[in-house]
A and B are shown apart, each in its own frame.
Chain A
Amino acid sequence: MSDATLSESNAHVSRRRFCAGACQVASGATLATLFTACGGSPTSPSSNISTLGIITGQFAGSGVRVAVAGSALTSEGGAALIESTAGVFLLARTSANAFTAVEAVCTHEGCTVTNTDGDQYVCPCHGSRYTRSGQVVHGPAMASLRRYTTSFTDGVVTIAI
């Protein structure tokens, strides 16, 4: 199967890029933990992965409305998987009034990205990692997740689609 498919050079670069970025900021972690985290399989470089909470968004024609109350999105750094009639999105709160919304379908093999680790999204199928704005930080995915603009009013985020 193709989960072992990424070319060695790509995997190597991606893993190093991930370690250069993510491992340095993991303050408080011991060196041993770091080596464990970054020396594992190319598709699972970290161990603090958790599943995102799911919120059903309201599809309102040209946008998806998401009420943040009672979800991880009430606090900065929080993120959630948004399900709606018009498909799935990843929504994160990056500051008091700012959110990022991206496509939740992994650009590698089309799995729904359901997991998070720190400030990254993690695909459950082959471990691709993306920033909150959808940039790839770790393969096998090569293309970014499509980003959508958001607005925030009265506790409701609207993802413009």
Chain B
Amino acid sequence: MSQLDPAIDHLLRRAGFGASAADVETFRDMSLTAAVAHLVDYAGRPDDVDERIGRPDHVQVSTNNLFAPDIDIDDARQRWMFRMVHSRRPLQEKLAMFWHNHFATAFSKLANDSGTKQAAKLLAAKPGSLRGPMGQIELFREYGMGSYRDLLFRVSQDAATVIWLDGQFNTKTRPQENFGREIMELFSVGVGNYTEPDVYAAARVFSGWNLRESEGYSDNDMNAYKEFVYNADQHETSEKTFSFPIYSDGSKTIPVRSESAGMQDGIDLITALAFHPETARRLARKFWNFFVSEIVPPHPAFVTATANVYLQSGTRIGPVVYSVLTSPWFNDPTAVYARYSWPAEFVVRSIKEVGWQNFSVDKARAPMSNMGQALYEPPNVGGWPLGAGWFSTSTMLARSNFAATLASSQKGFLAAQLQSQANSPQALMAAMLDRITPAPFDSMPQQALVNYLVAGGAWNGSESQVSTRAAGLARLLVASSEYQLV
């Protein structure tokens, strides 16, 4: 049992990445209501986590050269993992991951188009760090709890999205359908709620939503950049009719507009899609899977209630997330440990719970790929395959190997932390389960773990015994099936 109220533990696994010792201190005396309020109202707390990169009492980052997370994707991955471990705004990082999966955009295609530096910059550059727009992940951090219409609009004009979905090739003579299709299939209403003629109309709506390069652009110049541009002379101006209403009067037709006024076509379609009732219901289902359960299918009453909050608040995500986290479904016992952790969730939670002394998140990069989730590299436009799909023999082996790497790196640290509580194997087991929080074991596996502690000789609680056995126990716990659930 963790040292926190089980309901707060559950909340922190879902709305964050689990609880480190420091998180336990923050949340120990809070009511559940106060804990939710603390998590959702993060704008009032400073976003100072990046300034703590490199501090000795934090997880480390590693690099062969200067740490350059705005232009080097491996460093960007490390920065994001550092943020997941240490941010005082865990929900902000959790939602950034939700949106990263929802608007799945992969580094490799951007790198093929613009080179590795520009691709990293397009995805991960902090605002103001270099010339040019902020990276896509920063949109999710900045606008992830605001209006979805606003987020959808910004993502539609995000250079990484434009490259990823071939918007730069969308011209009036050759409307490119990729973005027009995905904005309906993946970003809003979903399959079954639009037609093929809608896809063609949407392609024409977004004709001219292209890119431009900064003056003297070069892929290797870190201050060069690409940005969205509306090319009026590439916009197809005829009217576009959809199978669903675009305007509040029920009209389904975007009128003929001049080339110069034609950007309004896209804004009208984005607004219509964001406010479409099926978008509300689809997001509700995605939030169910992300926050509540992947094992139990979305409850119809939950979908209706969540969709209503979304529409009534003008598509604002903050009230939606708050509604989800305070709903009876979220706090129902059947929802506890009813999600398969994503590799990022598994890795970050294990670092937070086991320890990070002299440990670099770089050591988690390759293992995460082997577990099936390299950050900034979703497999396709649909994002990662979720649920039980995370688990195969090879990905479970990767999780097990990471548990071994992490636990052995923390051998001395764990021994120092737990020595005074290791009077008996049962006491060490209890102390370890205060830190590391798998789903409850059946009695048989739990006894097997105690047997492990005393294997090879009677328990004497010596320093060397605790040192060896504590790390071994941490490894077994983190690699257990029960720990893969959040």
**Which residue numbers of A lie inside 8 Å of B, CB to CB?**
1-2, 4-7, 10, 56-62, 83-88, 103, 105, 107-110, 142-143, 146, 148, 161
Contacts and interface: CB of A to CB of B under 8 A. Distances in A.
30 contacts: A1-B229, A1-B232, A2-B230, A2-B232, A4-B260, A5-B232, A5-B261, A5-B263, A7-B260, A10-B261, A58-B41, A58-B44, A60-B41, A61-B37, A61-B40, A62-B309, A62-B313, A62-B319, A85-B41, A85-B42, A85-B145, A85-B318, A87-B150, A87-B316, A105-B147, A108-B267, A161-B313, A161-B314, A161-B316, A161-B318
A110 B150 CA distance: 7
B260 A2 contact: yes
Contacts of B309: 62
A6 to B, nearest CB: 6
A161 to B, nearest CB: 5
The list of the 10 closest CB pairs from A to B, nearest first, reads A86-B318, A87-B146, A61-B322, A5-B260, A85-B43, A59-B41, A2-B263, A161-B313, A146-B314, A110-B153
A86 B230 CA distance: 28
Interface string B28-39: 000000001100
Interface in B111-170: 143, 145-147, 150, 153-154, 157
B210 to A, nearest CB: 12
Given A85-B41, A105-B150, 9 more contacts: A2-B232, A2-B260, A2-B263, A4-B260, A61-B326, A62-B322, A83-B43, A85-B145, A86-B146
Nearest to A112: B150
A103 B43 contact: no
B479 interface: no
Given A1-B230, A58-B44, A110-B150, A86 B316 contact: yes
Nearest to B152: A110
A19 B360 CA distance: 63
Contact of A87 (B42, B145, B153): B145
B481 interface: no
In this complex, the member of A58, A86, A110 whose beta carbon has the largest number of chain B beta carbons within 10 angstroms is: A86
A102 to B, nearest CB: 10
Interface of B: 36-37, 40-44, 143, 145-147, 150, 153-154, 157, 229-230, 232, 257-258, 260-264, 267, 271, 309, 313-314, 316-319, 322-323, 326
A85 B230 CA distance: 30
Contacts of B258: 5, 7
B44 A56 contact: yes
Nearest to B142: A87
Main secondary structure of the interface of A (DSSP, over half): loop
B326 A56 contact: no
A60 B153 contact: no
Given A1-B230, A4-B260, A88 B146 contact: yes
Nearest to A59: B41
B201 to A, nearest CB: 20
Contacts of A146: 314
Contacts of B322: 61-62
B261 A6 contact: yes
Contacts of B267: 107-110
A153 B58 CA distance: 43
Contacts of B43: 56-57, 59, 83-85
A87 B41 CA distance: 11
A105 B270 CA distance: 14
Contacts of B143: 87
Contacts of A62: 309, 313, 319, 322-323
A54 to B, nearest CB: 11
Contact of B145 (A5, A6, A56, A86): A86
B215 to A, nearest CB: 15
A73 to B, nearest CB: 18
Contact of A103 (B44, B314, B317): B314
Contacts of A161: 313-314, 316, 318-319
A7 B43 CA distance: 39
B318 A87 contact: yes
Contact of A59 (B40, B153, B230, B264): B40
Contacts of A5: 232, 258, 260-264
Given A61-B322, A87-B316, A110 B154 contact: yes
Contacts of B264: 5, 108, 142
Contacts of A58: 41, 44
Contacts of B230: 1-2
A6 B258 CA distance: 9
Contacts of B145: 59, 85-87
Nearest to B314: A146
A115 B139 CA distance: 23
A86 B44 contact: no
In this complex, the member of A1, A83, A85 whose beta carbon has the largest number of chain B beta carbons within 10 angstroms is: A85
